[in-house]
Structure 1
Amino acid sequence: MDPTQEAIDITPAPDSRESSKDNKYPEGGLQAWSVVLGAWCAMIPSMGLLNSLGILHAWTRAHQLKDYSESSIGWIFGAYGFFLYLAGAQAGPIFDAFGPRYVVIPGSIGTVASLLCLSFSKEYYQIFLSFSVLGGLSACTLFTPAVSAVGHWFQIRRGWATGVACTAGGVGGVIFPLIILFAAPKVGFGWAIRIIALLSAILCTVACLLLKTRLPSNTRAGATVDFRALKDIKYASTTAAIFLVEFAVFIPITYIASYGVHQGLKDTMAYLLIPFLNLGAIPGRFLPGLIADRVGRFNVMVLTSLICSLLTLALWLEASNNLPSIICYAVLFGFWSGAAISLTPVCISQVCATEDYGKRNGTTFTIVSAGTLVGIPIAGAIQERDGGEYGGLIVFGGVLYLTATVAFVVARGICAGWSLKTKF
Structure 2
Amino acid sequence: MTIQSTLAPRSIFHGWFVVAAAFTVMFVGFGSAYTFSAFLEPLQRDFGASRGSTSLVFSIAGFLYFALGVISGPLADRLGSRPLAVVGMVVAAIGLAAASAAHSLVEVYLAYGLGVGLGVGCAFVPALGAVQRWFVRRRGFASGLAVSGIGLGTLAMPPLASLLIAAIGWRGAYLVLGAIVLVLGGGLSLLIENDPKDRGLGPDGDPPRELSGATNAGGASVREAVRSMRFVGLYLSCLVCSFGAFVPFVHLVPYARDHGVAASSAVVLLGMIGAGSTAGRFFLGALADRMGRDRSLIMVLIGMALAMAIWAIAQDVWTLAAFAFVYGVFYGGWVAVLPTVVMDYFGGRNVSGIIGILYTSVAFGTLIGPTAAGFVYDINHSYTLPILTSAAANIVAALVVVAILARSGTHAISIAKR
Which TM-score band applies after superposition, normalised by the shorter structure?
0.7 to 0.9
- Shift in alpha-carbon separation, 1:410–1:56, aligned structure 2, 3 A: farther
State the alpha-carbon separation in 2 of the partners of residues 131 and 35 from structure 1.
Answer: 27
Alpha carbons 2:19, 2:146 under 8 Å: kept: yes
Q: Is contact 2:244–2:370 with CA below 8 Å preserved after alignment? A: no
1:302 is aligned to 298
SS for the counterpart of 1:155 is coil
Asked if structure 2 preserves the Cα contact closer than 8 Å seen for 1:47 and 1:169, the reply is yes
Corresponding residue SS for 2:103: coil
Q: Classify 1:355/1:226 alpha carbon distance in 2 versus 1 (closer, same or farther; 3 Å).
A: closer
- The correspondence of residues 3-402 of structure 1 with structure 2, limited to 5 A, is 29-61=12-44, 63-65=45-47, 67-214=48-195, 229-313=225-309, 315-320=310-315, 322-385=316-379, 387-402=380-395
Give the equivalent residue in structure 2 for 1:11. none
> Which segments of 5 or more consecutive residues in structure 1 lack a partner in the other structure?
1-25, 219-224, 419-424
- Per-residue CA deviation, residues 191-221 of structure 1 (Å, 9 max, x unaligned), is 2222222221222233332100126799xxx
Work out which of the residue numbers 388, 396, 406 in structure 2 matches 1:403: 396
Once residues 410 and 16 of structure 2 are traced to their aligned partners in structure 1, the CA distance between those partners, rounded to angstroms, is 34
Is the partner of 1:338 in helix, strand or coil?
Answer: helix
Distance 1:206 1:412, change over 3 A: farther
TM-score, scaled to structure 2: 0.86
Tell me if structure 1 keeps the 8 A contact 2:243–2:366: yes
CA-atom RMSD, angstroms? 2.2
Identity of matched residues, %: 22
- Following the alignment from structure 1 to structure 2, what is the Cα–Cα distance between the partners of residues 171 and 151? 20
C-alpha separation in 2, matches of 1:71 and 1:412: 38
1:18-37 deviations in Å (ceiling 9; x for gaps): xxxxxxxx9x9521101101
How many angstroms apart in 2 are the aligned matches of 1:417 and 1:151? 20
Structure 1 counterpart of 2:195, one-letter code: R
Matched AA of 1:332: V
| CA spacing shift, 1:157–1:413, aligned 2, 3 Å | farther
Distance in 1 separating the partners of 2:394 and 2:172: 37
Distance apart, 1:228 and its partner CA: 6.5
Closer/same/farther in 2, CA of residues 383 and 96 from structure 1, 3 Å limit? same
Structure with greater helix share of residues: 2
Rounded Cα–Cα distance in structure 2 between residues aligned with 1:205 and 1:133: 18
CA 1:298 to 1:228, structure 2 compared with 1: closer, same or farther past 3 Å? closer
1:296-342 CA-to-partner distances (Å, cap 9, x unmatched) read 111112111112211212x211112x221111111111112112222
Q: Per-residue displacement from partner, 1:99-135 (whole Å, max 9, x unpaired)?
A: 1123112112101101111122231111101111121
Instruction: Return the offset for 1:230.
Output: 2.8
Residue range with higher mean Cα deviation, 295-304 or 52-61: 52-61
CA contact (8 A) 2:339 2:355 kept: yes
Stretches of structure 2 that go unaligned for 5 or more consecutive residues are 1-8, 199-215, 412-418
Paired residues of 1:312 and 1:394 also in contact (CA < 8 A): yes
- CA distance in 2 between partners of 1:340 and 1:81 (Å): 17
User: Any idea what SS the aligned residue of 2:106 has?
Assistant: helix
Q: Distance in 1 between matches of 2:257 and 2:182?
A: 32
In 1, Cα distance between equivalents of 2:36 and 2:280: 18
| CA deviation profile, 1:351-388 (whole Å, cap 9, x unmatched) | 21201101101111123311211111222222233x21
Deviation at 1:90, TM superposition (A): 1.0
Instruction: Indicate the SS of the match to 1:351.
Output: helix
CA contact (8 A) 1:104 1:208 kept: yes
Moved more, 408-417 or 375-384: 408-417
Is contact 2:42-2:170 (8 Å) kept?
Answer: no
d(CA) in 2 for partners of 1:215, 1:180: 37
Q: 2:140·2:340 contact (CA, 8 Å) conserved in 1?
A: yes
Corresponding residue pairs, total:
381
Q: Is contact 1:249-1:340 (8 Å) kept?
A: no
How many Å separate the matches in 1 of 2:100 and 2:106? Answer: 14
Cα distance in 2, alignment partners of residues 89 and 280 from structure 1:
29
Q: Distance in 1 between matches of 2:399 and 2:240?
A: 10
The answer to whether the Cα contact below 8 Å between 1:254 and 1:376 also exists between their aligned partners in 2 is: yes
**Partner AA of 1:107 in structure 2:** G
- How far apart in 1 are the matches of 2:264 and 2:149? 24
- Given that 1:229 and 1:236 are in contact with CA atoms closer than 8 Å, whether structure 2 keeps it comes out as no
Aligned-pair CA distance for 1:242: 2.0
